[in-house]
Amino acid sequence: MVIRNIQSDSDVTLDFVPMVDVLFNLLIFFLLATSMAQTEREMRIALPHAAASGPISAAMREIIINIDAHGKAFVAGKAIEDDDLSKMLKSSVAINPDQKVSVRGDRTTPYANVARVLDICRGSGIQQPFLETIPVR
């Protein structure tokens, strides 16, 4: 008696292991890409409370200037001197006259430090620098 093999060689099988590998690689890539975009907002800056504070929006062309408790200004996580900040803002305004700037001052820093950075913004041609706060709880 001859026993026939019911499975033929023409059956198509899909191997899901390579597809799962690609899926995990894409997932890791997008997780890393989105976490790096938030580095400026993750500095240890204690923002003051305000009743009319707005939501924090991350626009693509927005420049975020952080001021720590000691009055030092930071852009993109790096310390920047006042002259360099002014040059950077002037070049940004030359490219985009509607340049958006958010100033995030630590609540413990003297207001003179925040006013200094706001003055640099206005002197560089920024029309409306935004002063960020967090809502009152």
CATH number, residue 64: 3.30.420.270
pTM, two decimal places? 0.59
Cβ(114)–Cβ(67) under 8 Å?
Answer: yes
* Mean pLDDT calculated for residue range 17-22: 91
More confident residue, 52 or 113: 113
The reply to whether 29 falls in a domain is no
The reply to whether 30 falls in a domain is no
**Residues across the chain:** 137
The reply to whether 117 falls in a domain is yes
| Whole-number pLDDT of residue 32 | 79
Q: Using CA atoms, how far apart are residues 135 and 50, in angstroms rounded to an integer?
A: 5
How many distinct structural domains can be found in the chain?
1
| Whole-number pLDDT of residue 46 | 75
Residue from 58, 17, 22, 25 nearest 40 by CA: 58
The reply to whether 68 falls in a domain is yes
pLDDT at 31 over 60: yes
The reply to whether 109 falls in a domain is yes
pLDDT at 65 over 70: yes
pLDDT at 2 over 50: yes
The reply to whether 13 falls in a domain is no
| Whole-number pLDDT of residue 90 | 94
| Domain encompassing residue 71 | 43-135
Residue partners of 137: CB distance under 8 A and separation at least 6 = 49
Segment 71-118, tens digit of pLDDT: 999 998 899 999 999 999 999 999 888 889 999 999 999 999 999 999
